[in-house]
Amino acid sequence: MTDENDGPAWPPTMFSGMQEMSEQAMETQQEFLSQMMQAGAGGLDMNQLGAMSQTATFKTRVQSGGRISIPDAEREALDIEEGDIVQTVVIPVKRNRE
């Protein structure tokens, strides 16, 4: 076992880069949603607009078979349960290909 005081799990420069990419992805998503609402507001009904206001932004890792997971906090905040249908907007943040 290792001691918790062995130092950071990630090098600080890597954490800084990931944080920057995450912030950029959130800004891109927010801009995209804003453009969608402005461009299509005339053709959307109020139920669609209400659903769009209930959004969450989070990072997750793609698992085998292309599966992704919605974190517990986001599922609880949006009242998402097993079997519910959700819509996703996917913006790659970092690729781990070598």
- What are phi and psi for residue 18, nearest 5 degrees? -65, -40
Can you tell me the distance from the alpha carbon of 31 to that of 53, in angstroms, rounded to the nearest whole number? 14
Q: Are 53 and 59 in contact (CB under 8 A)?
A: no
DSSP 92: -
Task: Please write the tens of the pLDDT for every residue from 39-54.
Answer: 655 555 545 555 556 7
Can you tell me the distance from the alpha carbon of 7 to that of 11, in angstroms, rounded to the nearest whole number? 9
> What does 44-67 look like in DSSP terms, one character per residue?
--HHHHHHHHS---------GGG-
| pTM, rounded to two decimals | 0.44
- What are phi and psi for residue 45, nearest 5 degrees? -90, 170
Any idea which of 13-17, 32-36, 62-66 has the lowest mean pLDDT? 13-17
Greater pLDDT, 89 or 68: 68
